[in-house]
Structure 1
């Protein structure tokens, strides 16, 4: 019989507010609501994967206890985004009678609420007014300004931000200790690095880190940087750092060799540029040179995103980075 293990991102999903990682001030506000037992309508906005919906579910679980199953309606507004959903599902749930302790209300959770149509939001505004005594509404969204003003004015707005590297590391350590995972520090650092996404958008940092951790344990039973980069199949940051070192010395031939090596390994231009960007941000280059490098990397990334990703673009990037570094490198050699 095959033993199927639950994904760790689900297994270790917080069920109480004390387990939520990061955004301490916002979570403290939610804890106050949970203690008081009477919440306002809420809008929680912030980047994807920062725990917005999970925090709302934790709040509802702590407030409603055993009544959670009957007194909570959760909808993903990116799928259920039309006016019919508001008129049918939401309105019917709001009309439903549920036995709750005194002072408690039913909760409607709308995930990705900024995807709702204007018509659906207008219909929801009216529903919020009519059933304000028995039902509370909690919206999770990436951009609160896409929620219409009449709804915003009826809600307390709480903003979440990206999880820091320290928050992700702390969560990974907790999971490693609970699952008795064999690891070394550079393995966890590599997991955080691979979870930090690219320059285009906010990525699900903690989700990616936990998924990569589980894959590494399943594949190798040991978490170190080499195994992590095998699992994630990304350009190794040490190789990219070596390329940046050559560029900082205006050593164009050696830098080209590294880029050609990465290209022959099958990495796309966007993969390589994204890793160059992340490595450059943490590289100990002089500030002025780092700014020049990041500007050139960003311009190359833009061209690659427009469909011009090729070895020619990467070679041009190396040439421009070496040109940026050449004056400072020549000056340093003259002084010596």
Structure 2
């Protein structure tokens, strides 16, 4: 959900106990704990950050009081779900929850979902007046998060997803008068053409560093969090344009440090990032041309609990900037990184895969020209 601005503190007044009421007659106020991701979620389309083209088009649609079927796609944490919820608030006001049906493909699967929940909801009529007397569009919105039931990893599941999307296509046609659909996904290529042709497509870009920094600084100020400049830059770097990830990491660090200032070393403890000196040491061992040293170093890395996937990412970024390696050497290493990454995704042993990769790195550094 990248696309976040300041929000109000969520709180409620708790009822006093009989003992408290008799002694003081005053009620106590307790703060309701709210994740910062939800607390600073945009409440209006105007609050959506760094998606200017999307916002400009949607605001014109809102002005006319009508929307087409929508397809939002792009990296995670860029504001896709936040934007459609903000649109619903702008259109329907306080009753927006009654006018939307939000389904997530992670837990709402099967053709019965399309035939039952979506179909029944889309057939309901809606009034053109809000409780406050203002006019609103006489339709409902169905939000299918994670691509309308398509984010599957195996071929059989992908084929099943096509069947579900085909069922959705017919439902979109029949419910066009009373319902608008918003599909949200990371990859638009996984949505079948008959669905995409019925939707207005909007691409959400990764949040740039300047916008991330502005939002994080605003949250730090609102929450009274002290954050070192280097630590803030590292949070932005780790999040890679994902506003949700950045805010969640900031909140975790704030809980860790309390009233103390967040410093760069704290991020390693929370984020799972491998320290730079550990990566540098691994590359130095690869230069040593000693298999025994390499074996002990990789064993130590695994014993310390470092993620092999995270090691791959940081090794890749480090080796890209390595001037001592030629293009041919880098191509061999990066091809091996791709193979190892696929093996890790399939559940391969982390130690064996890291040894296989580091052995290739050592061979390219020490023996490529021999």
> Are the counterparts in 1 of residues 78 and 204 from structure 2 also a CA contact under 8 Å?
yes
2:12 alignment counterpart: none
1:334 alignment counterpart: none
Using the TM superposition, name which of 94-103 and 174-183 deviates more.
94-103
Quickly say closer, same or farther: Cα 1:266–1:74, change in 2 above 3 A: closer
2:157 alignment counterpart: none
Using the TM superposition, name which of 9-18 and 61-70 deviates more.
61-70
> Are the counterparts in 2 of residues 190 and 229 from structure 1 also a CA contact under 8 Å?
no
Per-residue deviation, 1:299: 3.6
Q: 2:226 aligns with which of 182, 205, 226?
A: 182
Quickly say closer, same or farther: Cα 1:265–1:76, change in 2 above 3 A: closer
Pairing 1:64–2:107 present: no
> Are the counterparts in 1 of residues 212 and 243 from structure 2 also a CA contact under 8 Å?
yes
Quickly say closer, same or farther: Cα 1:321–1:92, change in 2 above 3 A: closer
1:106 alignment counterpart: 140
> Are the counterparts in 1 of residues 140 and 178 from structure 2 also a CA contact under 8 Å?
yes
Quickly say closer, same or farther: Cα 1:233–1:41, change in 2 above 3 A: closer
Pairing 1:149–2:177 present: no
2:69 alignment counterpart: 41
Distance 1:285 1:211 in 2: 38
Distance 2:360 2:167 in 1: 55
TM-score (norm 2): 0.72
> Are the counterparts in 1 of residues 104 and 146 from structure 2 also a CA contact under 8 Å?
yes
Using the TM superposition, name which of 257-266 and 48-57 deviates more.
257-266
Secondary structure, aligned partner of 2:250: helix
Distance 1:251 1:53 in 2: 50
Q: 2:251 aligns with which of 214, 232, 235?
A: 214
Per-residue deviation, residues 196-236 of structure 1 (Å, max 9, x unmatched) = 5xxxxxxx933232222111111123222201111223321
Q: 1:192 aligns with which of 206, 216, 236?
A: 236
Q: 1:27 aligns with which of 44, 52, 55?
A: 55
Q: 1:318 aligns with which of 358, 362, 367?
A: 358
> Are the counterparts in 2 of residues 244 and 255 from structure 1 also a CA contact under 8 Å?
no
> Are the counterparts in 1 of residues 148 and 165 from structure 2 also a CA contact under 8 Å?
no
Looking at secondary structure, tell me which structure has more helix per residue.
1
Distance 1:276 1:37 in 2: 51
Quickly say closer, same or farther: Cα 1:124–1:314, change in 2 above 3 A: closer
Secondary structure, aligned partner of 1:137: strand
Q: 1:205 aligns with which of 242, 254, 258?
A: 242
1:225 alignment counterpart: 264
1:95 alignment counterpart: 124
Per-residue deviation, 1:148: 3.8
Structure 2, unpaired ranges of 5+: 1-27, 130-134, 151-160
Per-residue deviation, 1:280: 3.7
> Are the counterparts in 2 of residues 78 and 113 from structure 1 also a CA contact under 8 Å?
no
Per-residue deviation, 1:18: 2.9
Pairing 1:130–2:174 present: yes
Q: 1:272 aligns with which of 279, 286, 311?
A: 311
> Are the counterparts in 2 of residues 114 and 142 from structure 1 also a CA contact under 8 Å?
no
Distance 1:29 1:293 in 2: 44
> Are the counterparts in 1 of residues 78 and 207 from structure 2 also a CA contact under 8 Å?
yes
CA RMSD between the two structures: 3.5
Distance 1:124 1:308 in 2: 37
Distance 1:18 1:285 in 2: 49
Quickly say closer, same or farther: Cα 1:146–1:305, change in 2 above 3 A: closer
> Are the counterparts in 2 of residues 43 and 139 from structure 1 also a CA contact under 8 Å?
yes
Distance 2:344 2:215 in 1: 34
